[in-house]
Amino acid sequence: MWTTPQILDDSALRRCVCGLRDDYAFLTAGSIGRSRAGRPIFSLSIGHGEKSVLLCGGFHGSEWLTALLLLRFCEALCRSVQTGTPLCEVDVASYLTRREILLVPCVNPDGTEIFLHGPQAAGRYEQTVRDAWDPRTLWNANAAGVDINHNFDAGWQTLRETERESGITGPAPRRYGGETAESEPETRALCGLCRKRKPQHALAFHSQGEEIFWRYGKTAPPRAEALLHIFTSSSGYVPAENAGLYAHGGFKDWFIETFCRPAFTVEIGKGRNPLPPEDFEEIWEKLREMLTLAAVL
Ligand SMILES: [Zn+2]
């Protein structure tokens, strides 16, 4: 029986994944790899078929509500299938005979744990984290001080130069893109999954702003604009464009450039990070329909 945890640290994440797997025999739970500090990067999948869609979250330590959102959605999907009850008026089960819904709720489990419990959660990288620690900045990076969403191979060199101009030259709580593109195991794990499964489209969840980023530079793949309209009208979120330090190196950017298929960054909630857990129910209610449509379209 699902209960939403108050906080999604590593042990709660494991409990949720195992609980879902135990409750729903048709759900496949596994991992796509391990983080820097050796934590599994869990994946959940439901349905079968050539086509797949990917929803992922937890890129940034302070944004763990995104991971909770995807677990909650996974549970809603499973319950809909198990009971034959439509989800947001969509007969989810009928789609799952010809498509797979892939969820990676927490791409950066070390970052989440470091954000919630401090540098000692980084294991053998504890000193790296202590050296990079800045009490004024939320910890969003992985255990090696690399911002996973700056580590993807899309305009990475340009991003590196922009980082340097901003004084970011090494491990940091956020915005350091690493030694090379895809230097981090978390990045490689997600890229590996995409190269293998080639999802039709992908959504990456961050916080905050109630915005949806949908292009890489001026590039928008076929279907991207149509999906954007559906996502914005079902959620009330608004379309947005990246700039400056956020213009390259992100998962969405890499996915669009590599596959020429739609990818979106969805900034959940509104306020200041970390969003308070009390905001979760409202975020979920606002995004339930968009998540369902993203899974079946
Ligand atoms: Zn983020």
Task: Read off the pLDDT of residues 224-274 as tens digits, 9 standing for 90 and up.
Answer: 999 999 999 999 999 998 877 778 999 999 999 999 999 999 999 999 999
Mean pLDDT of all residues in 139-168:
96
Instruction: Give the 3-state secondary structure of residue 203.
Output: strand
Distance in Å, CA 20 to ligand 1 centroid: 25
The model's pLDDT over 174-229, given as tens digits with 9 standing for 90+, comes to: 999 999 999 999 999 999 999 999 999 999 999 999 999 999 988 899 999 999 99
Q: In DSSP terms, which residues pair with 31 in a beta bridge?
A: 42
Give the β-pairing of 201-207 and 263-268.
parallel
Q: Between 39 and 246, name the one with better pLDDT.
A: 39
Taking each helix axis from N to C terminus, what angle separates 10-23 and 65-83, rounded to the nearest 10 degrees? 10
For residue 16, which of 24, 8, 27 has the smallest C-alpha distance? 8
Distance in Å, CA 260 to ligand 1 centroid: 23
The CATH number assigned to the domain with range 10-296 reads 3.40.630.10
Distance in Å, CA 91 to ligand 1 centroid: 31
Rounded CA separation 191/189 (Å): 6
The model's pLDDT over 184-193, given as tens digits with 9 standing for 90+, comes to: 999 999 999 9
Distance in Å, CA 22 to ligand 1 centroid: 30
Distance in Å, CA 249 to ligand 1 centroid: 13
Residue for token digits 């990079």?
132
Cis amide bond preceding 208, omega within 30? yes
Distance in Å, CA 147 to ligand 1 centroid: 9
pLDDT for residue 242? 81
Rounded CA separation 85/290 (Å): 18
Distance in Å, CA 157 to ligand 1 centroid: 20
Distance in Å, CA 60 to ligand 1 centroid: 5
Distance in Å, CA 87 to ligand 1 centroid: 27
Distance in Å, CA 40 to ligand 1 centroid: 20
pLDDT for residue 1? 67
Distance in Å, CA 57 to ligand 1 centroid: 9
Distance in Å, CA 45 to ligand 1 centroid: 23
Distance in Å, CA 202 to ligand 1 centroid: 15
Cα three-residue angle 274-276-282, rounded to 5 degrees:
120
List the chain domain ranges: 10-296
Q: Where are the alpha helices (DSSP H) in 84-136?
A: 92-95, 109-117, 126-132
Residues 6+ apart with CB under 8 A from 53: 99, 100, 101, 102, 199, 200, 201, 202, 203, 294, 295, 297
Burial class (CB in 10 A: 0-12, 13-18, 19+), 35: buried
Can you point out the beta strands (E) in the chain?
28-34, 40-46, 51-56, 99-104, 201-207, 211-213, 238-240, 263-268
Among left, alpha and beta (phi > 0; psi -120 to 50; other), residue 202 is beta
Distance in Å, CA 275 to ligand 1 centroid: 12
